[in-house]
């Protein structure tokens, strides 16, 4: 009886249940598929801006667009209003519309959001918001503050409406694009004339060991302009900071240099530390030839053959050259062992150790201590001699195998000949002619 | 000395009647004609098999069948064990030469129609020995656990997987799981050193007994062979001469071109370029590639696998299908099949190395 009444009640209230059902399940479903935001700006502007570089085209792949932002999020106005082509309605100052910022206003314009962590963390909780602050300390920022309208601002490097993530290879600030991006201004003598700075940085950088790795070998970890000069706070490091800048990556060499006798004198004479020998932008990879006091040496810039430093430099050169020559001999022997098909794994493994000892010896030069160099090369030389012995042993073994084969083949041949003669002998009586 | 030997033979004869066997061997004759040379091929194949057994046992003393140690143990054999490099090199070269001579032996028997009655079962056991030899090659290939063998085994076992219904089971059976892992290595090692040797010895003994019992076959139309020689010592000494020649070639190959070990297999790396099986599987591997992805509604690869399986069975049954040869008549159809098979296998194998890389 009770259940009968319950059924009756359910049927009576069916419409209410039905509506409730729709409300509970359909409303969230609508919420899950939000309508695309309408953008009247693109619709109108694309009619009269047909060039490739126009904002309506460039903005398609812009990081702001792909993150769901509209033109109005930067420029204000109401892009979603049905204005029927009426600019006044869409670009209404009352709705926050502002005309595009001037060159000197751009950093502040971008900083409205990019310096606001509360806002920016919605897009990336680890995002940096100190770009504007850094920019103000940069050479660019300082000149901009003085009213210079030629210096770089945000859009000079990041573009205006085609801004992409720095990790996007199409971005102008992607690791291997940076030298070219900076050089747009810095390699233009006409443009840079009034600043009285050199314009050959890109040319030098391309020849440098850094440029070789980044631009030719595609090693994205190799440093570009920003890694030494800073990103948004870009400025020349200053003579006394060079070792710190290089030391970010070359920390071992930096420590050796700081403890060396040279640090004191470099400071005294105002030499730009690392750049004194390796040069800046050109960042030369120095070899044994750079030691000593010969024509190509960098020690010879300050030292002569007669002074104590010069004598030590020549000795350093000889020690490392001898070790390097021994290493090359080992390499040649190792290749010969491999060519001859003999086991080479252990030799190769030990060759890696010899190479790392040579690298250590070259690095220890930054301590400018003959004692240190002798110690490292002694260990390396011992190792190289053992590798040389191993390789020579393998080559001897190769010869032994050859001789062993020749001897074996000789006996096989001898046995074969004896067998052949025996067959010939017994054939005469054994061959059956009536099979 | 002679008295001792005679006494020993007499002692054995009283117990095992061995004079009958000795008499059989000393009276056995081998015909001499232009194709006598092919009679030596089986013997050379047998020599390489014996070398395989001996060198295999020596390798077993140091080899360890786990993914962690397999490569290192072969490396140890090649670099630290006295003459280990030679033993391993001989084992690899001898394996290849054994299969090469098995092919030559098989095709010579096919073209001379030596399989005709009463030697049908000698052919059947011979073909089975050939298949087991190929299985030896397949299972042994993975054992050094190097990059090439690892991925070739992966590709090879993948092919078995296309067979409808039982493909998945065969893959699991061969690999000991879904993928080529340590389980595959121990499994194939087990087949290589225990299962296959057991099977091959039994069939080989039967095959050899049949050959000895029935003597050498003479080709059709050459019944009137006049010249002949005694199996012992004439043919036996010639066989020995052939063996010496084969050992010389093997020694030279093993010493001048030591078998490489390559890089250790890394199951997580992507397959390197140019993955291919051993040369004796190349013609099948390449044929599979010739097949289109789909033939009507069927999978091309499945059809290819079935065709190969059917051909494998057909090959065993040749003595029973060649009715003309059974009647001692020339059978050009089977001669054509044989020549076509030689040309196909030969050309495709060579092209696989130089053209279809």
Provide, rounded to the nearest whole percent, the portion of chain A with pLDDT above 70: 88
B313: distance to nearest CA of chain A, Å? 37
Average pLDDT, chain A: 87
Residue B153 · residue B141 · CB < 8 Å: yes
The continuous run of DSSP H or E covering B281 comes out as helix B279-290
Nearest chain B residue to A415 by CA distance is: B244
What pTM was estimated for this model as a whole? 0.66
Chain A residues lying within 8 Å of B234, measured CB to CB? 423, 426-427, 430-431
Q: B80-113: per-residue pLDDT in tens? A: 899 999 999 999 999 999 999 999 999 999 999 9
- Give me the long-range contacts of B317-322 (CB less than 8 A, separation at least 24): B318/B110, B318/B115, B318/B123, B319/B115, B319/B116, B319/B117, B319/B119, B319/B120, B319/B123, B319/B124, B320/B120, B322/B113, B322/B115, B322/B116
Range A350-362 average pLDDT? 96
Distance from first CA to last CA of chain A, Å, rounded? Answer: 114
The correct CATH number of B33-274 out of 3.40.50.970, 2.170.8.10, 1.20.810.10, 1.10.10.10 is 1.20.810.10
Contact state of A432 with B257 under an 8 Å Cβ cutoff: no
Asked if residue A18 has pLDDT above 70, the reply is no
Output the pLDDT for position A34.
46
Q: A158-215: per-residue pLDDT in tens? A: 999 989 999 999 999 999 999 999 999 999 999 999 998 899 999 999 999 999 999 9
Residue B32 · residue B225 · CB < 8 Å: yes
* Nearest Cα to Cα of residue B331 among B86, B20, B115: B115
Contact state of B255 with A427 under an 8 Å Cβ cutoff: no
Task: Choose the closest CB to A412 out of B228, B248, B256.
Answer: B248
CB atoms within 10 A of CB B329: 14
Residue B152 · residue B275 · CB < 8 Å: yes
- List all residues 6 or more positions away from A230 whose beta carbon is below 8 Å from its beta carbon: A134, A138
Asked if residue A10 has pLDDT above 80, the reply is no
User: pLDDT category, A434, cuts 50, 70, 90?
Assistant: low
Interface test with B, best of A416, A417, A429 (most B CBs within 10 A): A416
Asked if residue A334 has pLDDT above 90, the reply is yes
The structural domains of chain A, ordered by start, are 308-429 (1.20.140)
Chain A residues lying within 8 Å of B247, measured CB to CB? 412
User: pLDDT category, A339, cuts 50, 70, 90?
Assistant: confident
Provide, rounded to the nearest whole percent, the portion of chain A with pLDDT above 90: 61
A380: distance to nearest CA of chain B, Å? 25
Domains of chain B, by residue range, sit at 1-31, 33-274
Nearest chain A residue to B258 by CA distance is: A341
Asked if residue A342 has pLDDT above 70, the reply is yes
Chain A residues lying within 8 Å of B255, measured CB to CB? 401-402, 404-405
Asked if residue A4 has pLDDT above 90, the reply is no
Output the pLDDT for position B296.
81
A434: distance to nearest CA of chain B, Å? 5
Contact state of A408 with B241 under an 8 Å Cβ cutoff: no
Contact state of A341 with B260 under an 8 Å Cβ cutoff: yes
Q: B232-249: per-residue pLDDT in tens? A: 888 999 999 999 999 999
Tokens representing A360 are 């250590």
| A21 vs B284, residue with greater confidence | B284
Task: Choose the closest CB to A430 out of B85, B230, B244.
Answer: B230
Asked if residue A88 has pLDDT above 80, the reply is no
User: pLDDT category, A221, cuts 50, 70, 90?
Assistant: very high
Tokens representing B276 are 């291919």
Q: A278-289: per-residue pLDDT in tens? A: 988 999 889 889
Contact state of B85 with A343 under an 8 Å Cβ cutoff: yes
Most confident of A24-38, A53-67, A209-223, B1-15: A209-223
Contact state of A435 with B230 under an 8 Å Cβ cutoff: no
Nearest chain B residue to A432 by CA distance is: B228
3-class secondary-structure state, position A164: coil
Most confident of A28-42, A235-249, B275-289: B275-289
Nearest chain B residue to A411 by CA distance is: B248
Q: B179-227: per-residue pLDDT in tens? A: 999 999 999 999 999 999 999 999 999 999 999 889 888 888 776 677 8
Output the pLDDT for position B80.
86
Contact state of B29 with A432 under an 8 Å Cβ cutoff: yes
A379: distance to nearest CA of chain B, Å? 26
| Burial A99-126, CB ≥16 within 10 A → b, else e | eebeebebbbbbbeebbeeeeeeeeeee
User: pLDDT category, A5, cuts 50, 70, 90?
Assistant: low
Asked if residue A270 has pLDDT above 70, the reply is yes
Asked if residue A1 has pLDDT above 50, the reply is no
Output the pLDDT for position A12.
63
Interface test with A, best of B83, B237, B239 (most A CBs within 10 A): B237
* Nearest Cα to Cα of residue A315 among A299, A292, A290, A295: A292
Task: Choose the closest CB to B251 out of A408, A423, A434.
Answer: A408
Tokens representing A244 are 């710190």
Rg (CA), chain A: 38
| B152 vs A9, residue with greater confidence | B152
Chain B residues lying within 8 Å of A419, measured CB to CB? 237, 240-241, 244
Low-confidence stretches of chain B (pLDDT beneath 50) = none
């Amino acid at each position: 009886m009770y259940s009968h009444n319950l059924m009756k009640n359910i049927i009576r209230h069916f419409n209410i249940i039905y509506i409730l059902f729709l409300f509970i399940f359909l409303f969230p479903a609508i919420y899950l598929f939000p309508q695309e935001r309408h953008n009247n700006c693109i619709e109108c502007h694309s009619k009269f801006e047909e060039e490739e570089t126009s904002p309506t085209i460039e903005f398609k792949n812009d990081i702001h667009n792909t993150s769901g932002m509209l033109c109005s999020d930067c420029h204000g106005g109401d892009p979603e209003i049905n204005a029927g082509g009426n600019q006044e309605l869409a670009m209404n100052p009352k709705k926050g519309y502002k005309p595009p910022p001037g060159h000197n206003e751009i950093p502040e314009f971008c900083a409205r959001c990019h310096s606001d962590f509360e806002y920016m963390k919605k897009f990336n909780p680890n995002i940096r918001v100190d770009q504007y602050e850094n920019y103000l300390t940069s050479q660019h920022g300082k000149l901009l503050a003085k009213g210079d309208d030629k210096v770089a601002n945000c859009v000079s490097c990041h573009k205006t409406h085609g801004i992409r993530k720095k990790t996007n290879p199409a971005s102008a600030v992607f690791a291997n694009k940076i030298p070219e991006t900076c050089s747009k201004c810095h390699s233009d003598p006409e443009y840079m004339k009034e600043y009285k700075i050199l314009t050959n940085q890109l040319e030098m950088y391309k020849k440098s060991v850094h440029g070789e790795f980044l631009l030719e070998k595609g090693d994205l970890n190799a440093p570009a302009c920003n890694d030494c000069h800073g990103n948004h706070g870009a400025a020349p490091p200053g003579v006394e900071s060079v070792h710190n800048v290089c030391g970010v990556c070359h920390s071992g060499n930096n420590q050796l240099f700081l403890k060396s006798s040279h640090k004191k004198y470099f400071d005294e004479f105002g030499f730009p530390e690392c750049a004194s020998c390796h040069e800046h932008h050109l960042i030369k990879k120095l070899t044994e030839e750079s030691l000593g006091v010969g024509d190509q040496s960098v020690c010879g810039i300050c030292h002569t053959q007669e002074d104590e430093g010069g004598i030590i430099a020549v000795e350093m050169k000889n020690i490392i050259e001898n070790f390097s020559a021994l290493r090359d001999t080992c390499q040649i022997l190792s290749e010969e062992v491999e060519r001859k098909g003999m086991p080479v794994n252990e030799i190769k493994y030990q060759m890696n150790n010899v190479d790392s000892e040579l690298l250590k010896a070259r690095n220890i030069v930054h301590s400018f201590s003959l004692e240190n160099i002798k110690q490292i090369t002694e260990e390396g030389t011992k190792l190289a001699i053992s590798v040389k012995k191993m390789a020579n042993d393998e080559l001897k073994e190769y010869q032994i195998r050859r001789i062993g084969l020749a001897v074996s083949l000789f006996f096989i041949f001898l046995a074969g000949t004896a067998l052949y003669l025996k067959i010939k002998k017994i054939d005469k009586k054994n061959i059956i002619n009536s099979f | 000395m002679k008295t001792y030997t005679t006494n020993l033979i007499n002692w054995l004869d009283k117990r095992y009647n061995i004079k009958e066997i000795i008499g059989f061997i000393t009276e056995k004759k081998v015909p001499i004609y232009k194709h006598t040379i092919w009679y030596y091929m089986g013997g050379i194949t047998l020599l390489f098999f014996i070398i395989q057994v001996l060198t295999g046992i020596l390798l077993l003393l140091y080899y360890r069948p786990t993914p962690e140690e397999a490569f290192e143990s072969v490396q140890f054999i090649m670099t630290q064990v006295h003459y280990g490099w030679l033993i391993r090199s001989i084992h690899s070269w001898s394996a290849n030469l054994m299969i090469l001579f098995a092919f030559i032996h098989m095709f010579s028997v096919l073209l001379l129609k030596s399989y005709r009655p009463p030697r049908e079962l000698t052919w059947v056991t011979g073909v089975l020995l050939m298949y087991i030899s190929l299985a030896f090659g397949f299972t042994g290939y993975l054992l050094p656990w190097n990059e090439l063998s690892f991925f070739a085994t992966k590709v090879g076992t993948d092919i078995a997987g296309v067979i409808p219904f039982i493909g998945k089971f065969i893959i699991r059976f061969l690999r000991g799981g879904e993928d080529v892992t340590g389980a595959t290595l121990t499994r194939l090692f087990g087949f290589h050193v225990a299962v296959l040797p057991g099977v091959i010895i039994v069939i080989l003994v039967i095959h050899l007994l049949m050959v000895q019992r029935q003597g050498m076959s003479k080709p059709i139309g050459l019944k009137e062979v006049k010249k002949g020689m005694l199996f012992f010592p004439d043919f036996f000494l010639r066989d020995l001469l052939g063996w010496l020649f084969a050992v010389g070639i093997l020694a030279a190959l093993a010493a001048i071109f030591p078998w490489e070990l390559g890089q250790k297999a890394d199951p997580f790396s992507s397959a390197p370029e140019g993955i291919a099986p051993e040369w004796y599987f190349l013609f099948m591997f390449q044929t599979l590639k010739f097949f289109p992805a789909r033939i009507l509604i069927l999978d091309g690869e499945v059809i290819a696998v079935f065709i190969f399986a059917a051909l494998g069975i057909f090959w065993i049954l040749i003595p029973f299908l060649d009715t003309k040869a059974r009647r001692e008549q020339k059978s050009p159809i089977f001669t054509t099949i044989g020549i076509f098979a030689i040309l196909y296998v030969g050309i495709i194998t060579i092209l696989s190395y130089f053209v279809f890389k």
